[in-house]
Amino acid sequence: MNTAAMPMTDAITALITEKRATGYKYDAEQRVLNQFAAFTADRFPGQQAPTQASVEAWIDAARRRGVAPATLHGLVAPVRELARWLGRRGATAYVLPAGALPRPPRYVPHIYTDSELAALFGRTDLCHYDCQVPFRHLVMPVLFRTIYACGLRASEARLLRFGDVDLDAGVLTIREGKGGKDRQVPVSAGLRDRLAGYDARVAGRTGGDWFFPGRAGAALTIGNIDKNFRRFLWQARIPHGGRGHGPRVHDLRHTMAVNNLRSWFARGMDVGALLPVLQAYMGHASIADTDYYLRLTAESYPHITAAVQRAYGDIIAPVTAGAGHGN
């Protein structure tokens, strides 16, 4: 493949095809790369690869828009990947050096207390009927309990279809989770009963196949989930720190993992043997992502820190020290 003369749009298409062939969704990255290609064509016509001038101009334009540090990293990472991809194929392309951008502050997840969970779920139970979203009052109590109890990402929960919920077996099929992989998640007897009661009230009536429908039978959007969640937090008197701060919906997933680890330690179970189970349940690509929850557990429940240290010693660094995080 002669990449030296390849138009940037063709290089982007080839990179995306390669990434998706290895299991990556690469949707957000595709949007960024298409935007970068349009930006380059407008500001640096004729250039077919990232150059130092075009990359620095791209960064400067983002900063003038006032994007957050984490967003800036998200705008730069795919461009750096494109440059590396071209470089491996003999083309001249500028790779922004590591450390050129300030590292965004690390978000430390909010681990909900048992009383906060009870208050939050209690407020979802009081969600009222809305004629514009006629199933909202039925969806919300089950949606947030499912996210917590199964440790799901919000995107995984909102994209469940009726066929993905096996009420007889008590298993959810999560399709194309992070990394594009499917997995099956068993549910507790209590949650299965709640899912069955919900299914009996909505199946065949939503105008679509989404288990948790939004407007006009379409899937719930992340924005809709977040908006409702913030309202329930306020009603439950759980303070929110504003944009970029928690608590977040995703912290329900973190809390589920921490609460399982807390329970295992309290019962004297072999946590090391159970970590791969938690890894599979949560859909982590690496056990390192799951190890992150050991640090969260030790910090959220200091009384079991000694047990964590006895089991794992100095490998467990503080969450705030910049270690990788579960997702």
Q: Is the pLDDT of residue 173 over 60?
A: yes
Q: Report the pLDDT averaged over residues 304-327.
A: 50
In a domain, 107, yes or no: no
In a domain, 271, yes or no: no
In a domain, 15, yes or no: yes
User: Which 3 state secondary structure label does DSSP give 44?
Assistant: coil
Q: Is the pLDDT of residue 5 over 70?
A: no
Highest mean pLDDT among 2-6, 154-158, 315-319: 154-158
Q: What is the pLDDT of residues 102-112, one digit of tens each?
A: 887 777 788 89
In a domain, 17, yes or no: yes
Nearest one of 9, 15, 10 to 35, comparing CA atoms: 9
119-128, 168-177, 249-258, 318-327 — which is least confidently predicted? 318-327
2-6, 32-36, 148-152, 314-318 — which is least confidently predicted? 314-318
Contacts of 16 (CB under 8 A, 6+ apart): 26, 29, 30, 33
In a domain, 78, yes or no: yes
Q: Is the pLDDT of residue 85 over 90?
A: yes
Domain of residue 61 covers 8-88
Q: Is the pLDDT of residue 117 over 80?
A: yes
- Note the pLDDT of residue 323: 39
Express as a percent the part of the chain with pLDDT over 70: 88
* Helices within 92-188 (DSSP H only): 114-125, 136-150, 154-158
- Note the pLDDT of residue 139: 96
Q: Report the pLDDT averaged over residues 255-267.
A: 87
- Note the pLDDT of residue 301: 66
Contact predicate 174/283, CB 8 Å = yes
User: Which 3 state secondary structure label does DSSP give 326?
Assistant: coil
In a domain, 192, yes or no: no
In a domain, 257, yes or no: no
Q: Is the pLDDT of residue 299 over 90?
A: no
- Note the pLDDT of residue 314: 42
Distances in Å between the Cα of 258 and the Cα atoms of 148, 291, 297 are 11, 11, 5
Residue 305's pLDDT band, with cuts at 50, 70 and 90, is low
Q: Is the pLDDT of residue 83 over 90?
A: yes
- Note the pLDDT of residue 172: 95
In a domain, 31, yes or no: yes
User: Which 3 state secondary structure label does DSSP give 218?
Assistant: coil
- The number of folded domains in the chain is 1
